[in-house]
Amino acid sequence: MGRLADQLRERITTGVYAAGAALPSEAALSAEFRVARNTVRRACRGLEAEGLIVTVPSRGRIVLADGHAPATLPYRYQMIARDLRRRIEQGEFGPGIALPSEAELRWLYEASRNTVRQAFAELERESLVVSVQGKGRFVRHKTETS
């Protein structure tokens, strides 16, 4: 099928890309393997035909476990929010500490601005984060009210 498909298949079968995880974006794969995006798309179509991945709108290309999708596939913004929530709960980001900027999170998670904003909105609804106009988003002090 192609060298790229072979390399991606190997990463899937060896667990580099775990079941239920999203593959890196087309742009990221294109840059990493130094191939055109059409080459990435062709490789992914082949892997999808083999039952190794599935394309889920708003979630990306998801690695299947034994040809089956996980029962619930979280949206990318939910995965980002879950990771930030864990880091807050573990004290990596303490009360009053600024969270990484939208630009940093977009780069880190290879996500769109809207996806990162949805993650922040979820954390704000949970009263974990407060947004300060022109300054960024900060971990909320426990004494602050909604």
CATH number of residue 16's parent domain: 1.10.10.10
Q: Check: pTM over 0.75? Answer yes or no.
A: no
Spell out, as residue ranges, where the chain has pLDDT lower than 50: 146
Quick one: pLDDT at residue 119?
Answer: 92
Give the list of residues 6+ apart from residue 12 with CB closer than 8 angstroms, or none: 47, 52, 53, 63
Say how many domains are in the chain: 2
- Of the three residues 17, 39, 63, the one that is the final residue of a domain is 63
Quick one: pLDDT at residue 146?
Answer: 47
Tell me: do 54 and 91 sit in the same domain: no
Written as one letter, the residue type at 100 is P
Q: Nearest Cα to 47, choosing from 30, 31, 28, 67?
A: 67
Quick one: pLDDT at residue 70?
Answer: 56
Q: How far apart are CA 12 and CA 62, in angstroms?
A: 10
